[in-house]
Structure 1
Amino acid sequence: MNIFVSNLGYSFTSEDLSELFSSYGAVDSARVITDKITRQSRGFGFVEMPDENAAIKAIRDLNGTMQDGRSIKVSEARPKEEKPSYSNRW
């Protein structure tokens, strides 16, 4: 299951994210999204967990908890919406 985590502190790393979720089960990947130019955290990230039950428990337990001085928001990630193509506009 793919999990979306937001309102992360700017010093929160991908390793921190993996460690936070690993207490609930196996973590396939954990990634804090960074700005392409400054390389600074954008304050959100994604976690992949293979066990759906463990992922649901992690979402339920971690949503609203304080991490790095901030109350994080944790939910199931939704697919990115397709943007309309404007190439055939004229």
Structure 2
Amino acid sequence: MNIHIKMATVVFGFILSSVETPSWAQNVTAPKQTLINIGGHVVPVVAGGLYDRFRSNPPLSVIASEAPDVDLSWFKSIKKEKVDIGFESYSPNFY
């Protein structure tokens, strides 16, 4: 292959990548967030996410349906309890 064609190909690739990369980034959107109060602090969480829907008490069945490939058998043997960690929470958390 001619050296001029190789050089033109490299230059064209460099120019194209510098033009296209910013447009790819524009198509990426961050998840919407909502603000919740945790222990007196306002904290952003993913809107509609597990913490937004259940706080620290999601049912294990919900986790199983949303992450079917995860082995949750260990959690089935543990009793979930309400705990005070400076605010009300549940342990264990199934996240």
| Alignment TM-score, normalising by the size of structure 1 | 0.20
Output the TM-score relative to the length of structure 2: 0.19
Bigger share in helix: 2
Higher Rg: 2
**Greater share of strand residues, 1 or 2?**
1
